[in-house]
């Protein structure tokens, strides 16, 4: 009986165990099915995302991924301007608890560029105000540690310029409300704030490496010559792209101060100058085009100054002989250039300058553009003086675009600060005949190899160009102590790719320039230093075994026979 009862209990327990195991199996199966369903959904979603990503370009679904203001980058993608969320330090004076004088001293120790007196004035104010519009996280942490409840730390959009003062006059800056004040920040303000396109950076034509080299050499020259300012531009002769644009002194767009405001004028696009003898090649080109100069060997009287309508035109360094056209440019004769312009006539000369855009503001995206000083009347005297760059004032950018047309085959194109894709350059307009442009390339090379531009000759780069030294206009005439020294260059002259303009404002003759202040001694050496630095960056490789063929013109240059002692010295 006992055995039977025990067997009955075992059977009951075994049945219950089977039920439990079956229930567990069922639950596991349900859980597995749920897991498989979830896994299938996740894989499906990932697959759909992958397909969509392959089919269409990525677009942020939320404005949180798009900057409040678009980035600005150079032609190689290097960041020049960027917006990020930064810290500000703000005070509510009514909520301050501690001693304000003590707090002002503490703030000044954290921000040494602001005095305790300035901080105290803000702390004593009646309204909430900013103590700093920009502050580093470490500085914010230090201020926070002061424990003053009346100081707040709002997060705001902050415009940063990672390259500091590099290309400051190109970039410009924004005001406290994030609106462009000058430079491309102002010119492209609508594009940089358009929510539909600001997610992609604005790409400039500037090459930051080339920009840095140009600024560096101009700064050195400005210091060595004790000049009040300097300017320069490198321009692609085929596309009009500005590879570098420098105006010195510079300013830091990250720190706009009242004392730096005076340096914000763009000397390349905004200021106008009489650029002197750099105009002479343009005059000769116009005469070649018109046919009034058909034989370069014809000699003109350079021995006697020209007296016309009460004015006297003379040469600074007279050769005291008759000069042909190559010699006129090599020795920079005002007298012969004026005679060539007189033979040409005022209509063709004026027309040439108008086609080069010398009667209107320079063509570029910037708002900061100066209007040329155009002659009130274009009579015979004016025609002769503008031929060598007096009586008309333009910007260095005007000159750069003109020289690009002079050497690229004769086509003038507007300058641009935006990167141009291959084949998308502006059509432009013809100013000079292609044959005239080819001849001018020879003549410009001769000026550097044999004339006033020798100090611009960078070995292997076949530099061509022209010096220009002009006295600044002053009340009642010209100021003989204030000079603008300019060199207009192009390279390589056998296949020109870039124009380079260097200018020094009021340089002084120093030991570095043999106490000379003219362009051949001040502006030309800058070209010689800049070209070897930027040439390889721009794809121009030096080759000392190549040069412009000027064999047919070389015999036209008269060279005095050296004295016996000079020959011996040369032999040494």
Residues forming the active site: 277
Strand bridging mode 311-313 / 322-323: unpaired
- Please state, in angstroms and as integers, the Cα–Cα distance from residue 270 to each residue in 94, 131, 169, 232, 237, following that order: 47, 35, 11, 13, 21
Kindly provide the residue ranges of all beta strands, DSSP E only, lying in 181-228, ordered along the sequence.
Answer: 202-203
Sign of CA dihedral 226, 227, 229, 232: negative
- By CB atoms closer than 10 A (0-12, 13-18, 19+), residue 78 is middle
Distance CA 141, CA 6 (A): 79
Q: Name every residue whose Cβ is closer than 8 Å to that of residue 355 and which is 6 or more positions away in sequence.
A: 412, 429, 431
Task: Tell me which residue of 520, 420, 487 sits closest to 234, measured CA to CA.
Answer: 487
Distance CA 199, CA 464 (A): 43
Distance CA 17, CA 9 (A): 12
**477 φψ region: left (φ > 0), alpha (ψ -120 to 50), beta (else):** left
**CB of 397 closer than 8 Å to CB of 362:** yes
Contacts made by residues 560-567, CB under 8 angstroms, sequence distance 24+: none
- Please state, in angstroms and as integers, the Cα–Cα distance from residue 319 to each residue in 184, 307, 332, 561, following that order: 48, 18, 10, 15
**CB of 253 closer than 8 Å to CB of 173:** yes
Residue 501 belongs to what H/E stretch? strand 498-505
Distance CA 278, CA 534 (A): 23
Q: Classify 158 as helix, strand or coil.
A: strand
**CB of 497 closer than 8 Å to CB of 538:** yes
Q: Classify 147 as helix, strand or coil.
A: coil
Distance CA 411, CA 434 (A): 9
**CB of 60 closer than 8 Å to CB of 195:** no
Residue 485 belongs to what H/E stretch? strand 477-491
Q: What is the distance between the terminal CA atoms of the chain, rounded to a whole angstrom? A: 140
Q: Name every residue whose Cβ is closer than 8 Å to that of residue 479 and which is 6 or more positions away in sequence.
A: 471, 472, 473
Task: Tell me which residue of 405, 395, 328 sits closest to 368, measured CA to CA.
Answer: 395
H helices present in 278-333, as ranges: 280-290, 325-330
């Amino acid at each position: 009986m006992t055995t039977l009862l025990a067997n009955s209990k075992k059977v009951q327990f075994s049945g219950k165990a089977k039920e439990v195991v079956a229930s567990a199996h069922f639950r596991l199966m349900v859980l597995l099915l749920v897991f498989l369903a979830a896994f299938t959904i996740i894989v499906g979603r990932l697959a759909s995302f992958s397909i969509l990503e392959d089919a269409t370009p990525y677009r942020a679904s939320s404005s949180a991924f798009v900057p409040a203001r678009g980035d600005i980058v150079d032609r190689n993608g290097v960041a020049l301007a960027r917006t990020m969320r930064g810290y500000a330090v703000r005070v509510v004076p009514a909520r301050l608890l501690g001693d304000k004088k003590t707090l002002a001293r503490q703030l000044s120790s954290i921000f040494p560029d602001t005095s305790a007196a300035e901080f105290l004035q803000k702390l004593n104010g009646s309204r909430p105000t900013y103590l700093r519009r920009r502050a580093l996280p470490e500085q914010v942490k230090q201020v926070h540690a002061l424990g003053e409840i009346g100081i707040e730390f709002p997060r705001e959009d902050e415009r940063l310029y990672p390259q500091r003062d590099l290309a400051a006059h190109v970039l410009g800056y924004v005001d406290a409300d994030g609106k462009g004040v000058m430079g491309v920040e102002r010119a492209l303000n609508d594009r940089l704030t358009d929510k539909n396109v600001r997610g992609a950076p604005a790409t400039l034509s500037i090459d930051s490496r080339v920009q840095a080299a140009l600024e560096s050499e101009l700064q050195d020259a400005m210091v060595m010559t004790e000049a009040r300012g300097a300017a320069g531009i490198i321009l692609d002769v085929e596309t009009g792209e500005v590879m570098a644009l420098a105006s010195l002194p510079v300013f830091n767009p990250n720190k706009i101060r009242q004392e730096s405001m005076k340096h914000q004028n763009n000397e390349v696009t905004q200021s106008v100058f009489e650029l002197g003898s750099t105009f002479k090649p343009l005059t000769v080109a116009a005469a070649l085009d018109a046919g009034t100069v058909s034989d370069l060997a014809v000699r003109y009287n350079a021995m006697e100054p020209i007296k016309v309508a009460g004015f006297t035109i003379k040469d600074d360094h007279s050769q005291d002989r008759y000069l042909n056209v190559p010699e006129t440019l090599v020795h920079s004769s005002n007298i012969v250039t004026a005679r060539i312009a007189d033979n040409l006539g005022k209509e063709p000369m004026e027309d040439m300058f108008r086609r080069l855009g010398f009667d209107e503001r320079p063509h570029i995206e910037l708002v900061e553009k100066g209007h040329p000083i155009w002659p009130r009347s274009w009579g015979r005297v004016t025609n002769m003086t503008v031929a060598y760059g007096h009586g008309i004032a333009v910007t260095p950018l005007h000159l750069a675009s003109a020289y690009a047309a002079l050497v690229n085959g004769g086509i003038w194109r507007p300058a641009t600060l935006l990167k141009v894709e291959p084949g998308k350059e502006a059509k432009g307009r013809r100013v000079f005949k292609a044959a005239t442009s080819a001849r001018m390339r020879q003549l410009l090379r001769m000026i550097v190899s044999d004339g006033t531009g020798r100090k611009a000759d960078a070995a292997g780069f076949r530099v061509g160009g022209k010096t220009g030294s002009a006295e600044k206009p002053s009340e009642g005439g010209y100021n003989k102590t204030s000079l603008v020294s300019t060199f207009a260059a192009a390279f390589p002259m056998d296949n020109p790719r870039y124009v380079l303009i260097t200018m020094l404002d009021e340089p002084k003759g120093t030991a570095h320039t043999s106490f000379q202040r003219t362009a051949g001694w001040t502006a030309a050496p800058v070209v010689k230093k800049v070209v070897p630095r930027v040439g390889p960056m721009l794809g121009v490789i030096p080759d000392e075994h190549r040069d412009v063929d000027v064999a047919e013109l070389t015999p036209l240059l008269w060279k005095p026979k050296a004295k016996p002692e000079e020959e011996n010295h040369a032999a040494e």
